[in-house]
Amino acid sequence: MKNLFKLLLLAALLGTAIIPSTYAEPEATEETTEELAAVPAALKDRRYVTKARPKLDAKVYFIYQSRYRCGICVAEAPAIVAAYKKMKGKGAELVMLNVDQDDKTAADWAKKAKMKFPIVSPTDRGDIPFPYTGGRTLPCMVAVDVYGNKLGEANGSNVAEFLQSNWKKYLKEIKKEEKKAARKKSED
């Protein structure tokens, strides 16, 4: 897994993209059956540099990679914080995987930028068990459902806009699919 993370980090330096997708029930693939089946479990026992802990009953998770020494990351931070305040407790969760070199730098930046969302320690992010931990540049953000299905992705200066305009949309899509699945199950 550490090699996977290193490859993703290397890939993060090569470009930017927004790749929209839609919600889908997990398919029985190697990626989704074991490693991606439990996003909440993957986040549960992490070390965090903030007091906040992720809501493990969220319907959608926005996994955000960022660091203090990234100009775009710093510029996007106020909008990310504002979006988090709106989505907090409504079924969507934001978790930052900090890629600074140490916990002190990460914690200092979180305090300065007023980031009160869960921020995984820089020393405890490398084995997050899903491949949606990075894009082509920093900052990067990937939205996944609880099963690890990728819902969308944004990189660079598009991250805050991606979060602001998609958290409600993804929640609605997931709730619609859940109702559809419940109806189908009751008909069977």
Residue from 122, 21, 106 nearest 133 by CA:
122
Going residue by residue through the chain, which has 188 residues, state the pLDDT in tens, using 9 for 90 and above: 444 333 333 333 323 332 232 323 334 344 433 443 478 888 888 899 999 999 989 999 999 999 998 999 999 999 999 999 999 999 999 999 888 889 999 999 999 999 999 999 988 866 665 555 565 578 989 999 988 888 999 988 999 999 999 999 999 999 999 899 888 888 87
Residue 94, classified by CB atoms within 10 Å of its CB into exposed (0-12), middle (13-18) or buried (19+), is buried
The enclosing domain of 55 has a CATH number of: 3.40.30.10
Confidence at residue 15, expressed as pLDDT on a 0 to 100 scale: 31
Structure tokens at 112: 């300065």
148: phi > 0 → left, psi -120 to 50 → alpha, else beta; which? Answer: left
CA separation for the pair 164, 158 (Å, rounded): 10
- How many domains does the structure of the chain reveal? 1
State if pTM tops 0.85: no
Residue 63 structural domain? 2-187
Strand 60-66's sheet: what is its strand order? 19-20, 150-155, 140-145, 60-66, 92-98, 119-120
Confidence at residue 41, expressed as pLDDT on a 0 to 100 scale: 83
Residue 184 CB neighbour total at 10 angstroms: 9
CA distances from 64 to 135, 141, 164 (A): 10, 4, 13
Rg of the chain over all Cα atoms, to the nearest angstrom? 16
The tally of CA atoms less than 13 A away on the side-chain side of residue 60 is 30
Is the bond preceding 78 in cis, omega lying within 30 degrees of 0?
A: no
